[in-house]
Each structure stands twice: as structure tokens, then as C-alpha cells.
Chains A and B, each alone.
Chain A
């Protein structure tokens, strides 16, 4: 591999990490409260409101049912509004975040829903309000699942960010298509695949270690 290509590879790795990290963080910041809202507003939840629950659910399902490649194109006006351009790494973060947020919200919802109802009742019996229940019971008790779900989301984002190459986002996927596939640079293709495997394994390993440390359920 030539020094030029190597430099390109390094830059692509950084772009992929940036896209994955930034959109992952955004999906965590918005997805977790969304997941909490889904659980809280559901029947028997701490802020039961079925119509809010149904509307939230419908919006999430709507976003999740659109294939990412279509979302990528459809969101171009939104991206332009937020970032100022629809091309490049930062532009790709918008559709990636919008796709990952409802995805992560559903994953967080599953973990939060598994928290034993008896624990919520115990917190209520102690005189706790909704905020106490969220802060002391729901989130800490679901934390291993919330972290494990975040790991899954990050790994999914690594894959999805490759697709963002279609709008000139750069990153490893883009590199693989343009050099590895279109210019028959097999070494680039191999290097990209190896880097992706290492990246995904690394994320999963860190996630698993974190979950093991957080999980005290015995």
C-alpha cells in the first residue's frame, strides 16, 4: 500500500470513528429519555398516558421502518438546515443520529421494562416521586442493559456509516468502495475489512467489560 493510500486509510478510520461516536452519543442523549418516556407512559407506568405512548411509538416505528439509504437521501434538506451542507462527514452525522435514536430508544425501552415492578413500588412506598424512581431505580437497575444496548447501537452505526459514503461522507465504507472496489486495490479492501473487524471487536469488548462491572444482579 502506498503512503498516500495509507494516509487515506488513517483519515477514513478517523471519519468512521467520528461519525459513529458523534451519532452514537446523540442517539444516547435522545434515545434514553425517549425509551424512558415509552416505559413511563405505558399502561401501569409511572406517568401513564396511553395516547402519548401511542404517538411516540408511531413516530419511532415510522423512522425505524424507512430503510437507512432512503432516510439518508430524504433527510438532505434537514441536514442542510442543521449543518449547512449535505456532503461530508458532519453531514452524515445528522441522518445517522436520526436513524440511531429511535433504534436505541427501543433497545433502552426493553431494558427499562425489565426492571422489577416491585422495586418501583418500594421506591413509591418510601415516598419517592417520579424523578426519584427514574434516577434511583429505573436507570441504575437497567444500566447493564442500557450499556449493552448502546454497544449494539455503536456496532450498528459502524455498519451504517459505511453506507453514508453514498452522500460523500467519507469513512471506511467510502474508501472501500472507491479504492477497493472501483479501482481494484485489493490491499485497501483487505485493510478496510481488517480495521472494521478490529473496530467492532474493540467496541464490543469494551461494552462487555463495562456491563460486567456494572451488573450486580448476581
Chain B
């Protein structure tokens, strides 16, 4: 697989080497644990102000990757550049001031139970050696940002999961970091709380211009807030691009599989009736996105290639403001010429068409 599919895919200007606006730049990162390669040559860049989502199954290397960014994990080889500075070979003591430039949000919140909410939020500043008055003022400001001012004196144990994560986010922002790392920040939360936490992260990103790198195993998270997505599998980036493009046209098997839950699939009862040979109806899958999806595709098809067809399943979704359609259409009859005209018309209009098979009777 090509691991150098960089941001250049979506932004040709960006193929150049290190630029100042690259907050993070990873080059050929490798890390082994015994016999398994957790990272097997990862190269990535994160531009200033963007939200990059890294998605993969558990064990794909996501956690190792994110932990390499603040030196909690050391790569065996390769480079980690944060704001242009190589950190891979820095000692623990040199890493400490650098880590203050990077906020981190954790799946299990990792709040200190013995400290109040405001003390938790202010802890990064205490570590920096800031005076108490400044710490408390900043904590109050951040708690207001995350909507938890009234909980300042409470202990974390009395908070709900979503509130705990809001405190975690406030804490990560305390030292005014240049980069926010989110390690499965919403994986322990229910769907509604997940949405509110993601909205908060998005809001922080747009209001403060904060660069965010998040890892997740849920496409829904990527879809909600990421600008770009990198798909990691077995320690390699197998696919990378603008979120809507990967949603519209996933190139790798793993991306298709991860998208399975949130993109339309052929209903299983129809899929089980598909046969390869002759049948009463032919089932087509039509994928269309971007400009191609804005036109009157189906009505134009009906005019250009007269004859009935039925919409069986699917719809048009919007990701990053781009329409992405996946339609399952049944075309009666198995006349090869008619089918060819239909597929040719659709392909000419920029759609991807796949003949899935035939069904004996109407579905």
C-alpha cells in the first residue's frame, strides 16, 4: 500500500516537505512490540487548524501512534516533528516542556479523584509553575467554555461521564496547547453525550483555531468533526484523504468495512437471494458523490434510457457539505443491451456502477 498518500491528494500545494503550518509531521514511524509491528512505517502530516481523524480497528496501532506524538511512546525508527521540532530522540526531561504544548484527552478521562474539578483543570498550569491566582482564573475561564462553571468545587466522582470528559477537555486546554490529542475521547460515552462532546471539540477547533488529532474506531466520530481521515490497519496508513472523499469512494477493504455501519448496504434479505445467472430483475449499486450527485441523475436516466427501474434501497447523505449517494436499483428484465445502456449512461454522469447480481422474482 502507498503510505505516502499525504494531504497532497486533496490539496496539491501541500506535497511540499515540512512547512511551518504543519503542526505534526510523521515520517516513516516504526514501533515493534515483540513480534508484532504496532507501527510499520507511518507518515502523516497535520496542518495547523485542521482536525485529522485516525480510524482503525482495535490493535491497528492507533494508540501507539498517538502516544508517539507526545513521547509517551518512543518509536524504534522514523521521525516525529512537532511544530518543526524533532522529538523522537529527546530525553524525558527535554520532552516535559514540549508536552505542555500538547493537550491530551483520554477515553477514561483520567481525572484525579482527590482534586476538585477546578484543581484538575488547573493542574497543567501548576506543573508549569504558574501562580495560584492565575491558575484559578484560567480554570474558571475554561470551565465556562465547557459549560461546567457550577461544578468547579465538585469532585470528579460526582460527575456524569460527559461532564468528566468536559473537564478532561478543559484540562487539556489549560496550558494553551498548539495541538490537542484525543485518544478515543467518546468511546466510553453514550451516543447523545458523544454528540455533545464532539460538538464541543468542533467548537473549540473553530473558535480557537486549535489543531486536533483524534483517534477513534467509530466512523460516526470522523464524520461528525474531522476534516481529513487517515485509515490505519496493521500499523500502516492504508488510506488518507478528505472525509467526504473517503466516505464517497473508500479504496481499502478496511475503510469499506469501517464504513459499513453508517453507509447504506444492500439489505441482507435481498443479498441472500442474489443469483449469478438469469433472473427477473438485475440489482445495481450506484455510488455518486460531489458534483455528480447534485444533478437530476435518476430522472435524466429515465429520459435517456426509457424503461422501468425501481429504487430498492439507499439514499443521499451529506458529509462536509458534499452529497454522497449510494443507491440500490432493480432493473427488470435481463436484457444485456438495455442494462449496458443504463450503466453507460450512469458512468458517463460520473457515477460508479456495480452489477451486484440478479433476483428470480421481484424484491
B181 to chain A minimum Cβ distance, whole angstroms, is: 8
User: Does A197 reach chain B (CB closer than 8 Å)?
Assistant: no
- Residue from B104, B108, B115, B157 within 8 A of A125 (CB atoms): B104
User: Does B124 reach chain A (CB closer than 8 Å)?
Assistant: yes
User: Does B224 reach chain A (CB closer than 8 Å)?
Assistant: no
**Main SS of the interface on chain A?**
helix
Residues of B contacting A136 in the complex (Cβ-Cβ under 8 angstroms): 112, 115, 123, 126-127
Residues of B contacting A143 in the complex (Cβ-Cβ under 8 angstroms): 114
A142 to chain B minimum Cβ distance, whole angstroms, is: 9
**Bound: A125/B123 CA distance, A:** 12
User: Does A217 reach chain B (CB closer than 8 Å)?
Assistant: yes
User: Does B155 reach chain A (CB closer than 8 Å)?
Assistant: yes
Q: Mark B82-96, 1 if CB is under 8 A from A, else 0.
A: 000000000011011
- Are A118's CB and B108's CB within 8 A? yes
A116, A137, A140, A216 interface centre (most CB from chain B within 10 Å): A216
A202 to chain B minimum Cβ distance, whole angstroms, is: 26
Closest residue of A by beta carbon distance from B116:
A216
Number of interface residues of B (CB under 8 A): 31
User: Does B100 reach chain A (CB closer than 8 Å)?
Assistant: yes
User: Does A218 reach chain B (CB closer than 8 Å)?
Assistant: yes
Binds B, one of A28-36, A127-135, A152-160: A127-135
B149 to chain A minimum Cβ distance, whole angstroms, is: 20
- Are B124's CB and A127's CB within 8 A? yes
- Residue from A116, A127, A214 within 8 A of B96 (CB atoms): A127
Residues of A contacting B155 in the complex (Cβ-Cβ under 8 angstroms): 216, 218
Contact of A126 with B157 at beta-carbon distance under 8 Å, contacts A143-B114, A216-B114 already known: no
**Bound: A132/B92 CA distance, A:** 14
User: Does B214 reach chain A (CB closer than 8 Å)?
Assistant: no
**Bound: A127/B113 CA distance, A:** 19
Task: Name the interface residues of A88-140: CB closer than 8 Å to any CB of B.
Answer: 116, 118-119, 121-129, 132, 136-137, 140
B39 to chain A minimum Cβ distance, whole angstroms, is: 18
B344 to chain A minimum Cβ distance, whole angstroms, is: 56
List 20 A-B residue pairs with CB atoms under 8 Å apart, sorted by A's residue number.
Answer: A118-B106, A119-B110, A122-B110, A123-B127, A125-B72, A125-B104, A125-B181, A126-B127, A126-B171, A127-B95, A127-B97, A127-B128, A136-B123, A140-B114, A141-B112, A141-B113, A143-B114, A216-B155, A216-B156, A216-B157
The 4 closest A-B pairs by CB, nearest first: A218-B157, A122-B110, A127-B99, A140-B114
